Chains A and B, each alone.
Chain A
C-alpha cells in the first residue's frame, strides 16, 4: 500500500446536492488518515436508481462512465454505504457477461470503499480528534450493514469522540423506509416505516440521530421534523470530523 494513497472522492448525488458539508467532512477525515484526496469533476451518479428500478442498461451506461473516471485512483471512497455497495457489490454483477468490462468493474469494485470502513479497515484508524457534546443514537443503514458489513466501524470511531454518549436504539438495524425511489412510489408504507423508526429514536431519549447514508437521513429527518421532533440529524462523518455544527439536516440553516 502506498504510504499516501491517491483517493478519488465519490461525491454521491444526494450529498452533492443537499449537504456538501458531508463531502468536506469526508475529505478532512481522509486527509487525517494520510490520503491525498482528489475530486474528479466528470463524475455523476453511480447508476443505482436504474439498477434498482430494473433498467440495467442505464445502470451499465453510468457504471462505465464512473469506472472510466475513477479507475486511475488507488481507491474510490464515498460517504454512503448504499452508493459504495453499488460500486463494490453490484458493478461486477452488472458486467458478468461482458468480457471487456468485467475486469474493469472488478478492479474498481476491489478498491471502492465506504468512508468509515475505509478509515478503519484499510487505514487502520481507531480514533478521531473531535468533540460533540450530545447524546446520540446510530441508525444502521441497510446497504452498508448487509452488503458491506458496516456495523462496528462507525461505533468504534464514535466512541473516541469527546463528550459524545451513544445510546443504542431498539431495532437500529431495521430499515427506515427510505429505499430510494420506494419512498415516493409507496409513500404511505414508507412513512409508517419511518414512524416505527422515529418511535425508537424517541424512546432512546437522545438529542441527535446519526447514520452513514444521506438518503435515510433526509428521510428520517423529514419525518422527525414533520412530527415536531427536536432531535438533530447528522451524518456520522460530520461528527467524526468535528463539523457537526448548527441544527443539522433539515434544521434551521446557520
Chain B
C-alpha cells in the first residue's frame, strides 16, 4: 500500500475540519471505550490476565523459531501447506501463484490487516481477479476505494448516511436509512459471492503451534463463510501471531474481545485445521498459510520486540485522543493510532514517517489499556531518539533544542533569561493578564491565549524573601 505518512500534517488538518468524520468517530469510539471499561470492571482478574498474556507472548517471541517450526510441522501433518514470505512482494507472488494454479476467478476475503500490509487487493485486481471483501467495514471501504482507518472497524470514519449513499450507488437503490436495512442489503449482495468464490482469503488472529490451527474471531460470521465455502482457503498472517497451545488461546480470547469491542467474547471464534477431511461435510480442498515476515524478524531481540506482542485489538486507538481528533487516515499507511505510530516507521522507514512518533502527547492512555502491556509511549520516544540521532527533524526544531540545552546547562544564564522573559511577557499581557498574539509563539497563540507571568521568577522572589 502506498505510504502517505509524509503528508500527516496536511491530512490531519483536513481531517479536523471534517464535521462528518468528527461525528462518525465520536460515536463509535465512545461506545468501545465505555463498553470496555464496563466489562473490565466486571472481571477482577483482568489485570492479572494482562500480565499472563504479556509473559506468554514474551516467551513465544523469545522462542519464536521453535514455535514456528512446530507450527509448520503441525499444519503439514493436518494436510495443509505453510509458505514463508520474507516481504510483501514474496507474499503477493505466493498468493498469486496459488490463485493462478487453481484457475480462480472470484476471491472472497475476510478481514486481514496483513493483506492490507502487503497490498494484496491491488495485486489481485491487477491480474484480473474479482476480489470481494466480506467484512462489512472492509466492504464499505472497498466500495469507497479507501484504505481502512481502524484495525478492527475499518470504516469507523464513515457515518451511516455516507454508507447509505455508497450502497445506493453500488447496489442501485432504493436507498436504505437504518443500520439494520443496510446490513441486510450487504448480506444479500455478499451471500452469492461466497458460493461463487474459488479462493477464500482470511487473516489469522492466532496460529496454534500445537495443533496447526488458524483461528479467526469475527462478529459477522463472514470469515467462516469465506474459509469454508471456497475451494481453497489461504490464511495470511504475521509470523508473530503464534501461540503455543489451544489452552493458551483461551487466555487471549478473554482479553481480546474485552479490549477490542467491549464484548465478553466475539460472536464467532472459528478454528481451521488443514483442508476438508474425507468425512467432513464441508471445508476447502486446499489449505494454505502464508507467514509474512516483512520486517518483523528485525524487531526480534531489540528495543522494539515488545511491539510484536500486539494482538491487534485496537484498544490503543480507541483510547488515543490524537486518533480521536484526526481519525486513522492521516497516519498514512495501514496501521493507525499508537500501534501504527510505532509500526509504520519500523516497516516503511523513519524518513517518511517523521510525524508519526511525534504527533503524540505521551499521555500513556494507550499503554494503560493495552491488553499485552506494550509500552507504546516509550517505544514512540525511542523512535524520536532514533530520528534525532539520524538528523531526521526540522532544522528549526533541532536549533531550538540546542539553544534550550545551552541555556539550561548554565544556571546563571538560565535564571537571567527567565527573569527577562517574565518581565517581557508580563508587559505584553498588560492589564488583561494574557497575551492574545505573540509573533514568535504563534503556534501557541493562534488558537490559545497565553497566560502572562506574574512578572518576577520564583527563584528571584525566593532570594529576596526575608527569612
Q: Which residues of A contact B (CB under 8 A)?
A: 11, 13, 15-21, 23-24, 39, 41-45, 47, 49-56, 58, 61-62, 65, 142-143, 146-147, 173-175, 177-180, 182-194, 196, 218-219, 221-223, 225-226, 247, 249-253
Q: Give the residue of B422, B447, B456 whose beta carbon is less than 8 angstroms from that of A188.
A: B447
A52-B362, A187-B446 as given contacts; A20 in contact with B461, CB under 8 Å: yes
Q: List 16 additional contacts besides A51-B381, A188-B16; criterion CB under 8 Å.
A: A11-B459, A17-B457, A18-B422, A23-B461, A50-B405, A53-B397, A53-B401, A58-B401, A65-B409, A146-B368, A184-B444, A186-B355, A193-B321, A194-B448, A247-B433, A251-B433
* A17 CA / B454 CA spacing, docked (Å): 8
For A214, the closest partner residue in chain B by CB is B451
Contact A184 B365 (CB under 8 A): no
Contact B453 A18 (CB under 8 A): yes
Contact A186 B433 (CB under 8 A): no
10 smallest A-B Cβ distances: which pairs?
Answer: A179-B361, A54-B384, A250-B451, A222-B448, A54-B388, A20-B458, A175-B363, A142-B363, A184-B443, A23-B458
> Is chain B's binding surface mostly helix, strand, loop or mixed?
helix
Most buried by B among A54, A187, A196, A225: A54
> Is chain A's binding surface mostly helix, strand, loop or mixed?
helix
Contact B418 A179 (CB under 8 A): no
Most buried by A among B361, B364, B383, B432: B361
- A–B complex contacts, Cβ < 8 Å, 15 sampled: A11-B462, A16-B459, A39-B459, A45-B408, A52-B381, A54-B381, A65-B411, A177-B361, A184-B444, A186-B355, A194-B447, A221-B449, A225-B448, A225-B451, A253-B433
Q: Give the residue of B361, B404, B451, B459 whose beta carbon is less than 8 angstroms from that of A218.
A: B451
Contact A146 B454 (CB under 8 A): no
Q: Give the residue of B359, B387, B404 whose beta carbon is less than 8 angstroms from that of A54.
A: B387
A41-B415, A189-B325, A191-B448 as given contacts; A54 in contact with B385, CB under 8 Å: yes
* A224 CA / B113 CA spacing, docked (Å): 41
B41 CB, nearest partner CB in chain A, Å = 15
Contact A41 B432 (CB under 8 A): no
A232 CB, nearest partner CB in chain B, Å = 11
Contact B433 A250 (CB under 8 A): yes
Q: Give the residue of B404, B422, B434 whose beta carbon is less than 8 angstroms from that of A222.
A: B434
User: Which residues of chain B come closer than 8 Å to A24, judged between CB atoms?
Assistant: 458, 461
B373 CB, nearest partner CB in chain A, Å = 13
Contact B458 A187 (CB under 8 A): no
B213, CB-defined interface residue at 8 Å: no
B441, CB-defined interface residue at 8 Å: yes
B39, CB-defined interface residue at 8 Å: no
Q: What sequence of 0s and 1s flags, for each residue 402-421 of chain B, a beta carbon within 8 Å of any chain A beta carbon?
A: 00110111110011001001
B324 CB, nearest partner CB in chain A, Å = 8
Contact B453 A182 (CB under 8 A): no
Contact B363 A192 (CB under 8 A): no
User: Which residues of chain B come closer than 8 Å to A11, judged between CB atoms?
Assistant: 458-459, 462
Contact B401 A185 (CB under 8 A): no
Contact B360 A16 (CB under 8 A): no
User: Which residues of chain B come closer than 8 Å to A187, judged between CB atoms?
Assistant: 443-444, 446-447
User: Which residues of chain A come closer than 8 Å to B453, judged between CB atoms?
Assistant: 17-19
A1 CB, nearest partner CB in chain B, Å = 25
User: Which residues of chain A come closer than 8 Å to B368, judged between CB atoms?
Assistant: 146
* A221 CA / B452 CA spacing, docked (Å): 11
